[in-house]
Chain A
Amino acid sequence: AQSVTQLGSHVSVSEGALVLLRCNYSSSVPPYLFWYVQYPNQGLQLLLKYTSAATLVKGINGFEAEFKKSETSFHLTKPSAHMSDAAEYFCAVRGTGNQFYFGTGTSLTVIP
């Protein structure tokens, strides 16, 4: 079975500081992992995905994530937070039958 765990339901960073959102996965097969972002009153938008190619994946809006098999992690980072990054972030793993399993989300607050 596949699942993801997001550590920290709320993260606050200062504008310009490093953003680090944590995601650990559980999968009995090589995982396909995703990060989505959700802005208020909107649906989920794909930030980036890992599909067993490069372990460091670059996404939109300056975000990237590194797949670490030894740590079963897929943490999301951005070197310098911007006010517009304030949103809810979801990690997801693709399971069998093309089902996606989402984490509970991390709310990112950016302090000016």
Chain B
Amino acid sequence: ETGVTQTPRHLVMGMTNKKSLKCEQHLGHNAMYWYKQSAKKPLELMFVYNFKEQTENNSVPSRFSPECPNSSHLFLHLHTLQPEDSALYLCASSQVGTTSINEQFFGPGTRLTVL
């Protein structure tokens, strides 16, 4: 595997289900991100992890719970979601703390549908 991978690619869940999204980066980066992409809206940054520590939580509802066990893996745990949470969830990684300006590398996303 190369780059940033995400599983599953598609997920359909009921409002009472509990599921998890997984992201893995194979780039040796030290920062990882979760974004929500909804139609006609800018990408919404949800969570940021630098060196496995959460540094940003942009007012995300508690029904979304991130976990970063190491610098290569990032999870998004989902429970009691709402239909408006249906979206494409993108994971990204980057290298921070250097003098160069490093872009974010994105995974293919998980298309989530909440019924």
Task: List residues of A whose CB falls within 8 A of some B CB.
Answer: 9, 32, 34, 36, 41-46, 49, 51, 90, 94, 97-105
Question: Contacts A32-B101, A34-B103, A51-B101: A42 and B109 contacting too (C-beta < 8 A)?
Answer: yes
Contact status B43-A49, CB under 8 Å: no
Question: Contacts A41-B108, A43-B4: A102 and B43 contacting too (C-beta < 8 A)?
Answer: yes
A-B contact pairs, 16 of them (CB 8 A): A34-B103, A42-B108, A43-B6, A43-B90, A44-B104, A94-B101, A98-B31, A98-B48, A98-B50, A98-B96, A99-B45, A101-B42, A102-B43, A103-B42, A104-B40, A104-B41
Task: List residues of B whose CB falls within 8 A of some A CB.
Answer: 4, 6, 31, 40-43, 45, 48, 50, 55-56, 90, 92, 94, 96, 100-101, 103-109, 111
Nearest residue in B to A46 (C-beta to C-beta)? B103
- The distance from the CB of A48 to the nearest CB of chain B, in whole angstroms, is 10
Task: Determine the chain A residues whose CB is within 8 A of the CB of B48 once the complex forms.
Answer: 97-99
- The distance from the CB of A60 to the nearest CB of chain B, in whole angstroms, is 12
- The distance from the CB of A11 to the nearest CB of chain B, in whole angstroms, is 16
